[in-house]
Amino acid sequence: MRVEWHPGTDPIAFFKDEAGATVFQENMPNVGIKPNSRDADGDNDLIKWFADRGFKVRMIENEYSPQPASSATFAGRRYELFTEPNRREVAWKHANSRGGRMLALETQEEADFLGKHLLSVQDSSLDGVWLAASDDGWEGNWKWEVGPLAGQRFWKDGLSGSAIDGFFAPWNDGEPNNAGGYEEEDCAVAIWKAENKALAFNDVPCIKRFLLIVEFDEATETGKAPKVDELSEDETCKADGTCKTDETPKTDETPRMRLNEEL
The per-residue pLDDT for 53 is 72
Report the predicted TM-score, pTM, of the whole model to 2 decimal places: 0.69
- What is the chain's mean pLDDT, rounded? 74
Q: What CA–CA distance (Å, rounded) separates 230 from 168? A: 35
**pLDDT tens digits, residue range 132-178?**
999 998 999 999 999 999 999 999 999 999 999 999 999 999 999 99
The per-residue pLDDT for 46 is 63
Mean pLDDT of 228-237: 37
* CATH number 2.60.120.10 given to 70-246: no
- Judge whether 76 and 236 are in contact, CB under 8 Å: no
Q: Would you kindly state where each structural domain of the chain is located, as residue ranges?
A: 12-59, 70-246
The per-residue pLDDT for 24 is 67
9 or 93: whose pLDDT is higher? 93
Alpha carbons within 13 A on the beta-carbon side of 261: 16
